[in-house]
Amino acid sequence: DAKTTQPTSMDCAEGRAANLPCNHSTISGNEYVYWYRQIHSQGPQYIIHGLKNNETNEMASLIITEDRKSSTLILPHATLRDTAVYYCIVRVRGNYQLIWGAGTKLIIKP
């Protein structure tokens, strides 16, 4: 199974775009990239996922490189409530198992 690598922590100013990188250099063709976040003392929350095309929803954008070896989650206008641990995850299509990265602790500063 592919593994993911993320920076341990990042800071971002409130109102700016937060760009969270993830490396998944061993990803295979049938593995999706998922992002979840976990706000302190809460359960993880789904953000977005993609296979090879860039994706956007009301929460974030996901940019996947053409070779699929890395991706970036973009929170376009970060707020203090976006302070959380963000997990980059790989999942094989049709498989229950999520391969979780160690997570990036994102701190949004006023």
Partner 1 sequence: DTEVTQTPKHLVMGMTNKKSLKCEQHMGHRAMYWYKQKAKKPPELMFVYSYEKLSINESVPSRFSPECPNSSLLNLHLHALQPEDSALYLCASSQDPAGVRTGELFFGEGSRLTVL
Positions touching partner 1 (CB under 8 A) are: 32, 34, 36, 41-46, 49, 87, 91, 93-98, 100-103
Comparison of 7 and 44: residue with beta carbon closer to partner 1: 44
At its nearest, how many Å lie between partner 1 and the CB of residue 96? 5
Q: Which is nearer to partner 1, 14 or 49 (by Cβ)? A: 49
CB of 16 to partner 1, least distance (A): 26
CB of 51 to partner 1, least distance (A): 11
Q: Rounded to the nearest whole angstrom, what is the least distance from the CB of residue 29 to partner 1 in the complex? A: 16
Q: Which two tokens stand for residue 104?
A: 């990036």
- DSSP letters, the chain, are ----B--SEEEEETTSPEEEEEE-TT--TTEEEEEEEE-TTS--EEEEEESSS-EE-SS-EEEE-TTSSEEEEEESS--GGG-EEEEEEEEETT---EEE---EEEEEE-
User: Which of 31/82 has CB closer to partner 1?
Assistant: 31
